[in-house]
Amino acid sequence: MQFPTPKTLENVRQFLGLSSYYRRFIENYSKIAEPLSRLTKKDVKYVWETEQEIAFNILKDKLVKSPVLAHFDPSLDIEVRCDGSGIGRNPVGDPIEAKDVTERTLVVNVETLTSEEIRERQLRDPKISKIMRLLPKYEHLSCRDRKKLKKFHINEQGLLYRKVENHSADKLCIVIPRCLRKDLYSMHDDPLSGHLGQKKTFERINSRFYFPGMRKYINRYVKTCVECQTRKFPTVPPAGLLQPIIVGGVCEKFGLDILGPFPKSLRDNKYIIVGTEYLTRFAI
């Protein structure tokens, strides 16, 4: 593949844009491209070294080779391996084929967002960008605004975090813009996530991320999960049906309700008793 070695940061971004278009066909694309992606981060000096040259040549080579990834075939037995790293997220599954012993890695969605990309998405969110604009002026804001912003923090990369209270120790969780919230669905929907309930799904997401109204948002999503509704069985007994009270005649049965305590009256009374005759519903 004839592609000149990048000489500037703009050249690196052009090459990453080209290669990223085919990333779904390149195994471990995020790991391979990490030395190049690192150059595009904020406050990183552009220095083209050996590791960048190696990553550049590997990607060029993979772009002209036949794809080595395969689409998922549910009829085959699957061997699942976790290929985790601090650079990218890459769940791997290998179909075990009787006809072909060769292992094929499944096509999966692997995405590594740089700090700069996350920051750009935060700035596009109207509510989050407003907080990011106000934080540098924190000392000059009103007491009311300062109270609302005291848990937010912008780190050295310009990312907005929020302090979340925890039983063991408080922690900083990155604030997720609206456009990235759907990416958190995998922490509930992924087969390895177990389709946990509302509480455990919230705790899992809340351990790393934050956005306003998160608990209500997660609870609503888990409640409407089709897989959970069709496959999970309720663990609590259903409520019993209401039964009418049979009354044979007037003044046969009465019901009493006690309300209170209330502030004492002039006669030192704190409770109200309401009596009802069951047949006529007459209040006594």
Instruction: Give how far the C-alpha of residue 61 lies from the chain's centroid of Cα atoms, to the nearest Å.
Output: 35
Instruction: Characterize the bridge pairing of strands 171-175 and 209-210.
Output: parallel
Q: What is the pLDDT of residue 3?
A: 79
pTM: 0.44
Determine how many CB atoms are found less than 10 A away from the CB of residue 34. Answer: 18
Q: What is the pLDDT of residue 80?
A: 61
> Average pLDDT for residues 84-100, to the nearest whole number?
45
Q: How confident is the model over 177-200, as pLDDT tens digits?
A: 888 888 777 788 877 777 888 888
Is residue 73 over pLDDT 70? Answer: no
At 214, is the secondary structure helix, strand, or coil?
helix
- In angstroms, the CA 127 to CA 5 distance is 41
Q: How confident is the model over 100-134, as pLDDT tens digits?
A: 434 444 444 434 567 788 888 888 888 888 888 88
How is residue 256 written in tokens? 């009493």
How is residue 14 written in tokens? 């052009």
Compute the half-sphere exposure of residue 213: CA atoms within 13 Å on the CB side of its CA: 8
Burial 60-91 (b: 16+ CB within 10 A, else e): eebeeeeeeebeeeeebeeeeeeeeeeebebb
Is residue 170 over pLDDT 60? Answer: yes
- Mean pLDDT, the chain, rounded, equals 78
Q: What is the pLDDT of residue 112?
A: 55
Is residue 84 over pLDDT 60? Answer: no
Contacts 24+ apart (CB under 8 A), 181-184: 181/211, 181/217, 184/209
Q: How confident is the model over 198-225, as pLDDT tens digits?
A: 888 888 888 888 888 888 988 888 888 8
How is residue 254 written in tokens? 């009465």
- In angstroms, the CA 195 to CA 201 distance is 8
Greater confidence, 258 or 237?
A: 258
